[in-house]
């Protein structure tokens, strides 16, 4: 149900996971991972000089560009979604306890991204012994020859919906939204801290325009500070590579 750029870590092993289980027998950590994946949002921006489809795959960052060790890359996806991603709206509509204001704010932030002329997405994984499993970083580059989509304002989302509780599959979760600030000019970011009992997972998303291109990143982990440190460096490197490829 999630979009290709959703960052979802692998579920933890039974030995590492907490003993609290939901109706379907999922561990707390694994359930938080599923919720974080469902709430991962897409991004957009604006400009000129788009990268071409022939070059966009080569413009993506590599494992050596990501801070930390043991990152591995999955298979690249070079097929852009044909329709508007409604997974966030569907997830919230199927959950109990979410206000109409929060539903609308999150759905609008995940608005239509138009039809890019170039598209490539790649997910990187880093193993971990934590209860939620390893981290996953999703990197997406879109190029637009025309009709660059408008960049939604994450501050409006946080202002309208700073936090909410939801119930799904017999599990009670609390979601707190935040607006991280990045050094990259023109960047726009949204963060979510999702807790269930004593377990927590942080989902961070940032996007930034580079000419006629849009770079979108998302990362899940247990520490929002560590998430930001990784995303800040990857965003800088990815924008450099896109600029070089589009030039």
Q: What is the pLDDT of residues 90-132, one digit of tens each?
A: 777 778 888 999 988 888 777 667 789 999 999 999 987 766 6
Backbone angles phi, psi at 236, to 5 degrees: -60, -45
Q: In the prediction, which pLDDT does 17 show?
A: 29
Res 112: pLDDT: 61
Q: How many CB atoms lie within 10 A of CB 73?
A: 16
Structural domain count of the chain: 1
Residue 13 lies in a domain: no
Residue 226 phi, psi (nearest 5): -65, -35
Taking residues 3-32, what's their average pLDDT?
A: 42
Angle at 83 between CA 61 and CA 10, to 5 degrees: 45
Q: 88 pLDDT exceeds 80?
A: no
Select the more confidently predicted residue: 30 or 41: 30
Q: What is the pLDDT of residue 199?
A: 87
Q: What is the C-alpha to C-alpha distance for residues 60 and 41, in angstroms, rounded to an integer?
A: 20
Q: Is 11 a domain residue?
A: no
- What pLDDT score was predicted for residue 68? 93
Whether residue 9 lies inside any domain: the answer is no
Read off the CATH number of the domain in which 99 is found: 3.40.1000.70
The residues pairing with 218 across neighbouring beta strands, listed in sequence order, are 138, 205
Q: Residue 193 has what pLDDT?
A: 93
217: confidence class by pLDDT, cuts 50, 70, 90 = very high
Report yes or no on 216 lying in a domain: yes
Considering the domain boundaries, does residue 64 fall inside one? yes
- Can you tell me the distance from the alpha carbon of 90 to that of 83, in angstroms, rounded to the nearest whole number? 14
* pTM for the full predicted model: 0.80
- pLDDT score of 79: 93
Instruction: Decide if pLDDT at 82 tops 80.
Output: no
The pLDDT tens digits for 180-200 are 999 998 899 999 999 988 888
pLDDT in tens, 34-74: 666 666 654 433 446 899 999 999 999 999 999 999 999 99
Enclosing domain of residue 161: 28-246
The reply to whether 61 falls in a domain is yes
Is 19 contained in some domain? no
Residue 184 is assigned to a structural domain of this protein: yes
Q: Find the farthest-apart pair of alpha carbons in the chain and give their distance in angstroms, rounded.
A: 53
Q: What band does 21 get if pLDDT is binned at 50, 70 and 90?
A: very low
């Amino acid at each position: 149900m999630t979009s290709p750029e959703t960052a979802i870590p692998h579920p933890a092993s039974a030995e590492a996971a907490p003993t609290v289980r939901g109706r379907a027998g999922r561990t707390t950590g694994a359930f938080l991972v599923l919720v974080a994946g469902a709430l991962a949002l897409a991004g957009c921006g604006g400009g000129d000089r788009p990268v071409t489809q022939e070059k966009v795959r080569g413009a993506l960052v590599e494992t050596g560009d990501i801070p930390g060790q043991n990152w591995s890359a999955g298979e690249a996806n070079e097929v852009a979604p044909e329709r508007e991603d409604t997974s966030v709206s569907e997830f919230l509509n199927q959950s109990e306890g979410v206000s109409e204001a929060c539903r609308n704010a999150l759905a609008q932030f995940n608005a239509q991204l138009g039809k890019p002329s170039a598209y490539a997405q790649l997910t990187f994984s880093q193993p971990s012994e934590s209860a939620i499993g390893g981290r996953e970083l999703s990197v997406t580059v879109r190029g637009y020859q025309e009709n660059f989509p408008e960049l939604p304002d994450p501050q409006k989302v946080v202002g309208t919906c700073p936090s909410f509780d939801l119930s799904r599959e017999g599990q009670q979760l609390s979601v707190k939204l935040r607006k991280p600030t990045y050094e990259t000019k023109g960047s726009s970011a949204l963060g979510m801290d999702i807790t269930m009992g004593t377990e927590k997972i942080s989902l961070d998303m940032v996007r930034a325009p580079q000419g006629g291109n849009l770079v979108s990143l998302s990362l899940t982990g247990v520490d929002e500070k560590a998430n930001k440190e990784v995303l800040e460096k990857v965003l800088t490197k990815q924008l450099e590579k896109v600029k070089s490829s589009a030039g």
